[in-house]
Chains A and B, each alone.
Chain A
Amino acid sequence: MTDKRITIRAARFDPEKDKVPHMQSYDIPFSDESMVVLDALNYIKAHVDGSLSYRWSCRMGICGSCGMMVNGTPKLTCAAFLRDYWPRPVTVAPLTNFPVVRDLVVDMEDFMHKLKSVKPWIIRKQEMPLGAGEHRQTMDEIDDFRQFSQCINCMLCYAACPVYGLDNEFLGPAAIALARRYNLDSRDQGTKIRLPVLAQSDGVWECSFVGECSVVCPKGVDPAKAIQQTKLDTTLRFVLPYGNRE
């Protein structure tokens, strides 16, 4: 068991030296059945090649940093077990559909702007004073938006989205899911303010309902559902009075 080994093929790209990315192979010990792809990258960085660049932090599937393409599928590398690939080599590449900054690091500034554009915060006509205590909210009301609040911004859904791949103006799965999260929150009164962004030409109507976003989400979020529901909202706004909380 101690001399079991595995081959990791990692994408390398340094814009200061390279015109295009290339793959580099590392043959490393697969010393523990609990090892994940991220452990393999960490082994390489610590013991073989200190120049390999990638993001990671919590290694428990909640910080959202370590998303990469693992054998062609967007994955959190902290939750992708080597035992599921061995003895085949594991190919690790940066998330598709994003510009590559370096090696396995992608540029996600685009998402940061999109996130802000959907106003992902509670909007109220009138703020309740702190002294009045909390808004009452039932667990059923939380269930209305719970799944959409689980998004860890890991970008796997953008990597899986064929529409975003063709046109990165598309608002995309996570941003729409988070808009939906606030639109469905019983404390929020901002649906009307968010709908123009969601309904514009690069908003929900771009989605061709392939549903890959929901398939790859590591947190059980269903952005495809958020998008379909929002399509309905943007239609109904022309026939019904806005929203249900105004």
Chain B
Amino acid sequence: MDFESYDVLVVGGGLAGIRAAIAVVEANPRLKIGMVSKVYPMRSHTVSAEGGAAAVLRPEDSYETHAFDTIKGSDYLADQDVVEAFVREAPIELIQMEHWGCPWSRDPDGKISARPFGGMTTWRTCFAADKTGFHMLHTVFQTSLKYPQIHRHDEAFVTKLLVENGRCEGVVAVDMRSGRFEAITAKSVILATGGLGRVYAFTTNGNICTGDGMALAYRAGVGLKDMEMVQFHPTGLPFTGILITEAVRGEGGYLTNKDGERFLKRYVPNKMELGPRDIISRAMVTEFEEGRGFEGPHGKFMHLDVRHLGEAVIDRKLPFMRELGREFVGIDIVKDPIPVRPVQHYMMGGVDADISGVTPVPGLYAAGECANVGLNGGNRLGSNSLSECLVFGAAAGRAAAEYASSAKPVGSNPVEAMLKDETARIEAGYLDKKGGEERIGTIREDMQRDMDAGAGVFRTRESLEKLTKQLGALRERFTNIKIEDSSRTFNTELTAALELDFMLEVADTITYSALAREESRGAHARRDFPERDDAKFLKHTIAFRTEEIAPRLEYRDVRITNFKPQARSY
């Protein structure tokens, strides 16, 4: 039996995945690269990033301040050697993006412009108006088209990693169009599948952000690191969860409560609207609880007000925000304040990987939001993630290329058997499943509602314990799902079911990791343990899959180099 076979296979076609693929070509142009994505690459969720990408490009800035801001922002859970390497690479990567054609907004002298951003002490967030992710993704995708070494498998859904004798040798994927199961083998595999926002009900994340890569790695025995660290962005539109970029505050927008007060003066008096996301989201929820939020048909909200910036600045720097306001809320942000409330946005946690994207399974690499390389710790600073996708996508690409250049070819015998087993699992469990009563949509909605309630901006032992029981019951219900669609052609009920299966597992890792971290650090705010506890928890949580629902948790010391943990106030 013949399989598509590559030197390096990239799973995911967003910014990290495409950057990784190009890095493989740069490292060794003779390598054959596969890229498998469940959507056409330009649909990847990078496209929704708005505000910018951080890098030290201005003479008045320094690597040390970018590193310090990132580490302080992480509430000292970032690995400092990783941060120090990242800040040095980020400027090179943004220049590379410029050479590839990214339409960065410019200063009058023609150089790449920068804007202020939350938790950053100086202007270092480079931007392409307020569609930075869109422009970066299309730039890097269109650039990738010039490399004949990169072979794409668009709209193929990866169901399993092929691991043989402890080494990752490829994947099993369903080609969505034909419904055919395929083994795609490779000497090294890079996971770049993005986030998991869809485990929550109220999220900025697109439908495709279902934690696939995290679940694939988890099932292959790789630990998931710091899964309790879930970022809630302060400014999502009520009802849709559409992201209103932090750049709105970077450009001078105010957050006000129903008394018209810039309430952040009570929480981050020195930073105000430019405080970090975790603290501002908590401030907003606290204000809601104390009765100072607006009440609307879709719950409580605050005002984000840019009226004082004027139409010219808004149209130059925030045109997409004006468009979103007009299209989705029916307001003109030049004249009306924007209703906003905290919304799940980003996953700091992810596949345990090192500074080069290397995971503990030989041949398996991870980069971007699905990975945790130790950069973001307890709270990612806005605009670090686009740069992270480039820096660590490229690093993973280089490492995977090096491994593939010397690794033995993949044998086809065990692969054939593994493909047969995986096909049988999915046919029996889904496509040919008879009976069943539970709708996938209902289980998913219940999971999302329970996650919002139990593992949101604030958590307690009580909320998390309740959540473990709810998730356990949902897993039970999942065994009784009903699949109405037996077609092999573009069966999105099948993919939705496989995604839900992934999400139920990663949701457990969030919940159990959060339950065990009895302190408050970064985005993980425990009402019953309100203080940070460096003596016990200056450590990464690593969750390993077991035969039970609850993962086995291990801890690993954070690597400290030049920045001693201190109290985090802004």
Contact = CB atoms under 8 A, between A and B. Distances in A.
Interface in A2-34: 14-17, 32, 34
B149 interface: no
A60 B243 contact: yes
A65 to B, nearest CB: 5
A46 B106 contact: no
B379 to A, nearest CB: 24
Most chain A beta-carbon neighbours within 10 Å: one of B96, B100, B138: B138
A178 interface: yes
Nearest to A105: B490
A130 B95 contact: yes
Interface stretch (B43-51, B399-407, B534-542): B43-51
Contacts of A54: 492
Interface stretch (A117-125, A206-214, A224-232): A117-125
Contacts of A32: 239, 297-298
A121 B442 contact: no
Given A102-B487, A121-B146, A134-B112, A50 B439 contact: yes
Interface string A54-91: 11111111111100000000000001000000000000
Given A112-B40, A134-B111, A62 B142 contact: no
Nearest to B208: A57
B453 interface: no
Contacts of B145: 115-116, 119-121
B240 A59 contact: yes
Nearest to A16: B487
Interface centre among A62, A120, A130 (most CB of B within 10 A): A62
A152 B104 CA distance: 17
B95 A134 contact: yes
Interface string B63-107: 000000000000000000000000000001001101111011110
A14 B134 contact: no
Given A58-B47, A188-B101, 13 more contacts: A14-B489, A46-B440, A50-B485, A50-B496, A63-B206, A101-B177, A116-B145, A121-B143, A134-B111, A136-B106, A152-B42, A152-B47, A182-B101
A53 interface: yes
Contact of A122 (B99, B111, B493): B99
B535 to A, nearest CB: 43
B426 to A, nearest CB: 16
Interface string A138-176: 110010011001111100000000000000000000000
B248 interface: no
A168 B530 CA distance: 63
Contact of A49 (B206, B297, B484): B484
A120 B145 CA distance: 8
Interface of B: 39-40, 42-45, 47-48, 92, 95-96, 98-101, 103-106, 108-112, 131, 134-135, 138, 142-143, 145-146, 154, 177, 206-208, 239-240, 242-243, 297-298, 320, 323-324, 327-328, 439-442, 444-445, 482-485, 487-493, 496
A187 interface: yes
B485 A51 contact: yes
Contacts of B485: 50-51, 53
Contacts of A142: 103, 105-106
Given A58-B48, A130-B96, A152-B134, A137 B489 contact: no
With most chain B CB atoms within 10 A of its CB, the pick from A14, A63, A120, A127 is A63
11 contacts: A51-B485, A57-B208, A59-B206, A63-B206, A65-B43, A79-B328, A101-B489, A121-B101, A130-B99, A134-B104, A136-B110
Given A46-B441, A50-B440, A102-B489, A64 B39 contact: no
B493 A153 contact: no
B45 A58 contact: yes
Contact-residue bracket for chain A: 35 or more
A152 B44 CA distance: 12
Interface in A181-214: 182, 185, 187-188
Contact of B439 (A14, A47, A65, A115): A47
Candidate in B48, B98, B99, B105 with the most chain A CB atoms within 10 angstroms = B99
A42 B103 CA distance: 35
A119 B445 CA distance: 43
A96 B174 CA distance: 27
A65 B39 CA distance: 9
B309 to A, nearest CB: 18
B101 A46 contact: no
A146 B129 CA distance: 10
Output the residue of B43, B96, B243, B442 with the most chain A CB within 10 A. Answer: B43
Contacts of A53: 485, 490-493
A47 B243 CA distance: 27
B442 A46 contact: yes
A94 to B, nearest CB: 11
Contacts of A188: 101
A225 to B, nearest CB: 18
B45 A149 contact: no
A181 B324 CA distance: 24
Interface in A97-135: 101-103, 105, 108, 112, 115-116, 119-122, 127-128, 130, 133-135
Contacts of B103: 142, 145-146, 149, 185
B206 A58 contact: yes
A138 B106 contact: yes
B463 to A, nearest CB: 26
A16 B489 contact: yes
A63 B488 contact: no
B106 A120 contact: no
Given A46-B439, A51-B487, A65-B39, A120 B240 contact: no
A237 interface: no
